[in-house]
Amino acid sequence: MDFTNDKSPVTQTVARQLQEMIRTGALKKDERLPSQRVLSEQLGVSRASLREALLTLETIGLVRTYPARGTFVTGAQTGKPAAMDQWRFEEQYSILDVFQSRLLIEAELCRLAAPHVTPEIADELRRATEEFEQAWRKEDLVTHVEADLTFHNIIAQTCPNAMLRRLHQSVRDLLNETQRVPIPNTEVGRMNASIKEHRAILEALTRQNANDAANAMREHIRNTALCAGVEI
């Protein structure tokens, strides 16, 4: 099974490179990034990959793009809540629409997947959970988000219902964005709770308890929605 998230390896690598430049001060807070043409040449990647990487960094609060002005470093740090940025899919669906859909889809994926979680799949989930936690402690937001997406995607791919898997795949960009958007707004206490919620989902899936797994997923999504300013 493909347990990777929705971003290409090149996009992930570029996002990590830029994040490291921000963390080390090579790119300073409030500094304007070079144009995408110049930056893509400097990093040796396509402009398409660079744009995707910048979208990831913007969603998790490390950069911000202003029309006609360019992209600037915000230098957001974990544990310091920030104002909620505009939901970039607003013209298609509200963030409430997406969280409500995610609650239904992911809870059912989790419920149906539970009886099919083998020890090997449980190990994959455990590794993603540990990386999710360790990356947060290191303030490596890019890896943190990748681990989160991987965790949820493993569950989706384990679900035996092919139609539900295809439905999830068709809206994955939207669902995944709701996992990235709350990051700048996440305090340390909330992230500690999110880590516990991941472990509760993992524990229920390891026991192959369908109802407990679905309930744990619902609680996690509701709490994530609250962090994004949405009550479901």
Average predicted confidence (pLDDT) for the chain: 88
Q: By three-state DSSP, how is residue 32 classified? A: strand
pLDDT in tens, 18-36: 999 988 889 999 999 999 9
Q: Is the pLDDT of residue 81 over 50?
A: no
| Alpha carbon distance 131, 15 (integer Å) | 17
Asked if residue 53 lies in contact with residue 9, where contact means CB atoms within 8 angstroms, the answer is: no
What pTM did the predictor assign? 0.80
| Alpha carbon distance 89, 177 (integer Å) | 9
Asked if residue 198 lies in contact with residue 80, where contact means CB atoms within 8 angstroms, the answer is: no
Average pLDDT over residues 223-230: 90
Asked if residue 177 lies in contact with residue 102, where contact means CB atoms within 8 angstroms, the answer is: no
**DSSP of 85-104:** PPPTTTTT--HHHHHHHHHH
11 band by pLDDT with thresholds 50, 70 and 90:
confident
- Which range (40-44, 110-114, 120-124, 177-181) has the least confidence? 177-181
pLDDT in tens, 185-215: 677 778 888 999 999 999 999 999 999 999 9
